[in-house]
Structure 1
């Protein structure tokens, strides 16, 4: 397989997989392109490589930056903005988990808590609704706790390994 073919296959696959994570295809294809790129790319280069519009590129670059998956890189003497992706895949996975939790799980937890606190169980129908709300809240809180445990375990692992290295030197 030639490099260009492998690159195209990766970008296509990353785009398809990301839609299953709740990330739009174009955003993930731009992310994949920047992951593979050995140097920073500007919007024109991204447009040409992926054959997408400037507006689509700009909108998705902003979104990727808001997720902290890509960053602007200043290139001396250049007026255009250049972008690079975080290359550490573990950091990427943690950041995606954090963002999905913030955007999807936390609002559900907050809404379920609000409904539980404001809906009086004074009829059978309301009691049944509150039971469903309670169950949804438990499942969502379990998902949130699981993500939090994974993120904390990773932080603990990093800290313990950093301290081990520090002690060795």
Structure 2
């Protein structure tokens, strides 16, 4: 194995470990990493061989990565097998992740919170009022996070990045 191949393998392994810490399936993160560092589209058999995973595991995670918008299926002329490539532009990946996290996590959380807030309005005990107050504060934060993720996911890097740098300075 060449030094570059070893580095790629290390990256794929570590990205998989990080993915599980971010709440993403380790294999899904490893497939994403493999496609990120692959210079050409890769087919399912190549993914299975590189990561030592089953076809079912590969197919399940490929479908999930496609649904997240992080990879796409591509046609390679002269090949009958499906090939896949990752989005490689970092800002687009970040925006996709922000949009998907919002859709899959913070929007449903906000709906649950709003339902509980509405149902707790009529509880006039001290504990009920404190519960309502706490959920309202939590929902305000989740709503703010949703708004921020929406703004990030729809902005061009060149327009947003200088503002973020200025804000953080």
Is structure 2 residue 110 aligned with structure 1 residue 109? Answer: yes
Q: Does 1:128 align with 2:133?
A: no
Count the aligned residue pairs: 158
CA displacement at 1:145 relative to structure 2: 2.4
**Conserved? CA contact 2:98–2:150, under 8 Å:** no
- 1:26 corresponds in structure 2 to 27
Tell me the residue number matched to 2:16: 15
Compute the displacement of 1:126 (Å).
1.9
Name 1:89's counterpart in structure 2: 90
Find 2:143's aligned residue among 138, 141, 149: 141
Specify every segment of 5 or more residues in structure 2 that has no aligned partner in the other structure, as ranges: 161-169
Gaps of 5+ in 1: 159-169
Distance across 1 between alignment mates of 2:63 and 2:18: 21
TM-score normalised by the chain length of structure 2: 0.85
**Offset of 1:136 from its aligned partner?**
1.4
Regions of 4+ moved over 6 Å: none
Pairwise CA distance, 1:152:
4.2
Decide which moves more: 19-28 or 120-129.
Answer: 120-129
Asked if 1:157 is matched to 2:163, the reply is no
Of stretches 113-122 and 82-91 in structure 1, the one that deviates more from structure 2 is: 113-122
- Aligned-residue CA RMSD in angstroms? 1.9
Give the SS at the match of 1:113.
Answer: helix
Aligned to 2:50: 49
